Chain A
Amino acid sequence: MRMLPAVLLALILAGSVQAKEAAPLAEDPVVEQRMVNIAEELRCLVCQNESLASSHADLAQDLRREVRGLIKEGKSDQEVKDFLVSRYGDFVLYRPQVKPTTYLLWGGPFLLLIIGIAVLIRYLRRRDRQFVETPLTDEERKRAEALLKADGS
């Protein structure tokens, strides 16, 4: 029972913390929407499998604030992304740019597809060659004709 005041206090504090986090959302819906669109394309560096838009990491909140600021300054989406890439590197982009270091990344799947098709064609051709047509002997031909006649009547 002695814990009760502490628990109540914790609950009250937890409530107030949540209320504080929600505040910036309402500020400017247009800026907010653009910020979310950009942030969804960017990786949070603290929890690397989350986008900057969905991450609750402290750094992600700071970076969202920074992105909002840049949008309000009138920067284009590309300029905002460049701002982050110049600081954190290409790693923050979920959609990496096409350039010499990423050719393999972009071309790799197609390369594998081409290799797969080549292997498949080679395999099918080789299998074809295994079925060499051997002409029927006279005896076999007679048996076949007999069978066909018996079936036809």
Chain B
Amino acid sequence: MNKFLLPLGIFIALVGLLAVGLNLNPREVPSPLVGKPAPNFSVPQLDAPDKNFSPKEMLGKVWLFNVWASWCISCREEHPVLVEYAKAGKLPPTVGLDYKDKRDDGQRWIARLGDPYLLSAFDADGRVGIDYGVYGVPETYLIDKAGIIRFKQIGPITPDVMDKKILPLVQELNK
């Protein structure tokens, strides 16, 4: 009896280990920036090339920093969700970052699909993206009143992520 128990035990442990491994998403690389101050930058706005945006302007607010691009396919999935929450008045203050895009394309995207943002910053060469560790759009950062990154969503925001993760955290940080 004992003879079979040990191999069986090892087998079950191995199956457990592999099951956990298979259910992890290798594309979700934990960001070292969570818990650290949001990197500062100053880039032109999408709609107003002569005006700059810097995250310093958002100090004192709990806000979302949403990286998107007109060429990004998953953003098409995410954008309607943001628009819907914005229409319902439930979206926290959100600034967009149009990442490695053409200005015309970005403006057209906003005009056609709706604008849930306070404004969108325009990161033509992707430098801001590198400072924020962006490696696959869309990515979204939740930044607190003191300018600390509290949460990073890699991939599109779904209503589920918004209701269960982002909004409760925003509420907590706004207390």
Query: From residue A122, how far is it (CB to closest CB) to chain B in Å?
Result: 13
Stretch among B25-33, B58-66, B104-112, B113-121 lining the A interface: B25-33
Which B residues lie at the A interface, using CB under 8 A?
26-27, 29-33, 100, 125-127, 129-133, 135-136
Assess A46 versus B130: contact at CB under 8 Å? Given A89-B29, A89-B30, A89-B32: no
What are 29 A-B contacts defined by CB distance under 8 Å? A45-B29, A45-B136, A46-B135, A46-B136, A48-B26, A48-B27, A58-B100, A59-B126, A59-B135, A62-B126, A62-B129, A62-B130, A63-B130, A66-B127, A66-B130, A85-B32, A87-B32, A87-B33, A87-B130, A87-B131, A87-B132, A88-B29, A88-B31, A88-B133, A89-B29, A89-B30, A89-B31, A89-B133, A91-B29
On chain B, the residues within 8 Å of A134 by CB distance are none
A78 contacts the other chain (CB 8 A)? no
A18 contacts the other chain (CB 8 A)? no
Assess A86 versus B32: contact at CB under 8 Å? Given A45-B136, A58-B100, A62-B126: yes
Task: List the A residue with the shortest CB-CB distance to B29.
Answer: A91
On chain A, the residues within 8 Å of B126 by CB distance are 59, 62
Query: From residue B135, how far is it (CB to closest CB) to chain A in Å?
Result: 4
On chain B, the residues within 8 Å of A89 by CB distance are 29-32, 133
Please, how many residues of chain A have a CB less than 8 angstroms from a CB on the other chain?
15
On chain B, the residues within 8 Å of A86 by CB distance are 32
Alpha-carbon separation in the docked complex, A46 to B26 (Å): 11
Q: Main SS of chain A's interface residues?
A: helix
Interface residues of A in 39-92 (CB under 8 A from B): 45-46, 48, 58-59, 62-63, 66, 85-91
- Which listed residue, A48, A63, A88, touches B32 by the CB 8 Å rule? A88
Alpha-carbon separation in the docked complex, A90 to B31 (Å): 9
On chain A, the residues within 8 Å of B27 by CB distance are 48
Query: From residue B12, how far is it (CB to closest CB) to chain A in Å?
Result: 18
Alpha-carbon separation in the docked complex, A18 to B110 (Å): 32
On chain B, the residues within 8 Å of A46 by CB distance are 135-136
Nearest 6 interchain pairs by C-beta = A45-B135, A87-B133, A89-B32, A91-B29, A88-B133, A62-B126
Alpha-carbon separation in the docked complex, A89 to B152 (Å): 13
